[in-house]
Copies of this chain bind each other. A is one copy, B any other.
């Protein structure tokens, strides 16, 4: 099979990462690359790490340019995907790395994004119960947010096994690429290096309803989420520290067993042996997820910690993995579980 893929928004971090992965994908041929303010520029000036594509020139993001591909990846600002997707045929696989089609609840969408809800597409986190079946053969995929990927994978085994109370408390540290290439003062290197800082504290982060949606579906009841994101002095990576009160009768052995069972068959999600803890460096540039879990008896809590690369498994890797499922390819085609470390 040769799949011809276009990338809309090829000058940003998500667009660059999906291109990095597609260049290694044996079944994909890279077609049109688009970008609005950067149309006309060579990719070599914008993504100098993608040497094989250095001479390719960005085109404008139009239906004409994106036509004639088997797959179109959308790496556009939130709220712009729906208009583009509408113009693409129903037989084209559209993989949206933005937020537009992630939420099932129109009211949640409107509350957090302040615009009309565009709809809901099959959710590209294959490891969640039921997600693979929805992706198979689908022509539309909503790639999860980076934080919801890290958090949902860390906590779903606890909720699937009814070990945790439905009140999750989460702190996550992200690399700055999670904030994109937008020119904002707090993202300057001078501000970021040597500094940790929180943002969107107290329930305001747009990824919160997505986490609630995922965890509640697994738990079979509404799970509240208190989520604090922090910005860390690194380019890539998310370390999510997730905890919930343990239900009465929970034991360390029971927690371990639940995680082993839930993750046993996953190629990309790796429960570490006891005594080792995730590090974002270990999954740098890889689609792997490292997870460890502890039962704090004294505090009566389960603490699950995951490390992902926010751009790979958290965005473009999850997108390619979901594309593989939708197209009937082996799920790990073109993806790696090997990090670039140190």
Binding site for B on A (CB under 8 A): 13, 16, 20, 23-24, 44-45, 47-52, 54, 167, 169, 171, 173, 175-177, 179, 181, 183-185, 187-199, 201-203, 224-226, 228, 230, 232-237, 239, 241, 243, 245, 270, 272-273, 276-286, 288, 290, 292, 294-301, 303, 305, 307, 336-342
CB distance from A224 to the nearest CB of B (A): 5
Question: Is the Cβ of A278 less than 8 Å from the Cβ of B197?
Answer: yes
CB distance from A298 to the nearest CB of B (A): 5
The 10 closest A-B pairs by CB, nearest first: A202-B294, A49-B339, A189-B192, A195-B281, A197-B279, A226-B299, A171-B171, A49-B341, A183-B183, A285-B340
Question: Is the Cβ of B196 less than 8 Å from the Cβ of A194?
Answer: no
Question: Is the Cβ of B196 less than 8 Å from the Cβ of A303?
Answer: no
Give the interface centre of A183, A225, A340 by most chain B CB atoms within 10 Å: A340
Docked CA distance A292–B225 (Å)? 20
Q: Which B residues lie within 8 Å of A176 (CB)?
A: 188-190, 193
Docked CA distance A336–B24 (Å)? 9
Given contact pairs A173-B230, A196-B239, A243-B226, A342 touches B190 in the complex (Cβ within 8 A): yes
Docked CA distance A181–B280 (Å)? 19
Docked CA distance A187–B282 (Å)? 15
Q: Name 28 A/B residue pairs within 8 A (Cβ), A-sorted.
A: A16-B342, A20-B340, A44-B273, A49-B281, A51-B270, A167-B299, A169-B169, A169-B299, A169-B301, A173-B232, A183-B184, A187-B190, A188-B189, A190-B235, A191-B281, A192-B193, A193-B233, A197-B281, A198-B241, A198-B278, A201-B292, A203-B298, A224-B300, A225-B299, A226-B243, A228-B243, A236-B342, A284-B340
Question: Is the Cβ of A234 less than 8 Å from the Cβ of B194?
Answer: yes
Task: Please give me the residue from chain B that is nearest to A305 by CB atom.
Answer: B198
Give the interface centre of A194, A203, A225, A272 by most chain B CB atoms within 10 Å: A194
CB distance from A219 to the nearest CB of B (A): 15
Question: Is the Cβ of A241 less than 8 Å from the Cβ of B171?
Answer: yes
Docked CA distance A339–B51 (Å)? 8
Q: Which B residues lie within 8 Å of A16 (CB)?
A: 341-342
Question: Is the Cβ of A195 less than 8 Å from the Cβ of B305?
Answer: no
Question: Is the Cβ of B224 less than 8 Å from the Cβ of A299?
Answer: yes
Task: Please give me the residue from chain B that is nearest to A54 by CB atom.
Answer: B270
